[in-house]
Amino acid sequence: MVRINSAVIVGYGGYVPRYRIKSEEIARIWGRDKSELPVEEKAVAGLDEDTVTMAVEAAKIAIKRAGIPPSKIGAVHVGTESKPYAVKPSGTIVAEAIGAVPSVTAADFEFACKAGTEALQFITSLVDAGRIEYGLAIGADTAQGRPGDALEFTAACGAAAFIIGRDKNEGVAEIEAWTSYVTDTPDFWRREYERYPHHTARFTGDPAYFHHIVNSVKNLLENDGYTLNDIDYAVFHQPNVRFPLVAAKLLGIDLEKTKPGLITGYIGNTYAASSLLGLVKVLDQAKPGQRILLASFGSGAGSDSYIIRVLEGIEVKRSLAPTLDKFIERKTYIDYAIYARHRKKILM
């Protein structure tokens, strides 16, 4: 086991756009059975939003909580599968917009829905190694599902940002350990120039999501000497409401520890932001001393799992910026026609 010596979350922020479409409305368009829908509703970005603008929204909230000058941020890494540009980093625009330029590294990470936790690993390592004083890790996506495809019910928009520093006294939570579990699994992919992803339906559950998450978490607990009793909250990647609950069950984790961070029913699967927004939701309510298990999943496939311990600083810093609930509750329903315009399914 390789211990992390000093990497603490000094600021965090979650952002969800204002618009929602109900699963029922999508089912109405395609004549689907409304009795078994994967989520209640999902978040849809505004006409003027994309991964970069949502990343900036989340980053600004994180900076408010961190209370540091953005010029001290030495790395800005955005994990996403919906970069506005195929070539031209999102990280540079985000770094410029928050005022972290020019002494900064700023690449984008891609690993389907786990790109955000991957960025977080990288930032954590840079800070822990003493290469930078502060770093900003973001998971953000404006996910696209093919019209009529099962993914259309869940593919949603959102962003989560974390500023990592070294000093426990200014931290809201300490990153105690992380690990990854990765294999080549063809469960979901999108080639260049393609608008929508392809997926192998029979791979999605057992060989992909459950296999990687369960092994990642088991390895983390075993290697770093934790037991399930050390865990107060468990946050998993949330492609739908059912999967995280099944993952908890497979691992023997009490469902009551999983439900506080389970928000996909109201916002959908925000891809690279999904598990990180679950973490934001938990940080919005956790108490100092509590431990959070975080496990992402990215198709392709892999899972990053983390043990995060909440610090005293949470109480004060939480109140310095809007909680995630403010954004979840700020909602306006749109119908499929408006949704089609928002998600550029109508070409002008």
Active site residues: 81, 113, 237
Residue choice 99, 148, 288, 289 for contact with other proteins (CB under 8 A): 99
Kindly state the DSSP code that residue 26 receives in the 8-state scheme: H
Residue carrying structure tokens 């999983």: 258
Of 256, 258, 277, residue with least CA distance to 267:
277
> Least CB distance from residue 17 to other proteins, whole Å?
8
Packing angle, helices 90-98 and 51-66, rounded to 10:
40
Site string for other proteins, 36-75 (x = CB under 8 A): ----------xxxxx-xx--xx------------------
Nearest-approach distance from CB 40 to other proteins, in angstroms: 22
The verdict on 152 binding other proteins (CB under 8 A) reads no
Contact segment (CB under 8 A) with other proteins among 97-105, 136-144, 169-177, 188-196 equals 97-105
**Contact flag: residue 84 with other proteins (CB under 8 A):** yes
Residues 6 or more apart in contact with residue 116 via CB below 8 angstroms: 79, 80, 109, 137, 138, 139, 140, 160, 272, 273, 275, 276, 296
Rounded to whole angstroms, how far apart are CA atoms 134 and 175? Answer: 14
Question: Which 307-336 positions form the footprint of other proteins (CB under 8 A)?
Answer: 322, 326-327, 330
Confirm or reject binding of residue 108 to other proteins (CB under 8 A): no
116 close to 296: Cβ distance less than 8 angstroms: yes
Cβ of residue 336: shortest distance to other proteins, in angstroms? 19
H or E stretch covering 118: helix 115-128
Cβ atoms of residues 277 and 265 within 8 Å = no
Residues contacting other proteins: total by CB under 8 A: 23
Residue 97 lies near other proteins (rule: CB under 8 A) = yes
In the window 2-21, what residues touch other proteins (CB under 8 A)?
17-18
Is residue 190 close enough to count as binding other proteins by CB under 8 A?
Answer: no
Query: Are 17 and 45 within 8 A, CB to CB?
Result: yes
Contact residues for other proteins, defined by CB under 8 A:
17-18, 46-50, 52-53, 56-57, 84-85, 93, 96-99, 322, 326-327, 330, 348
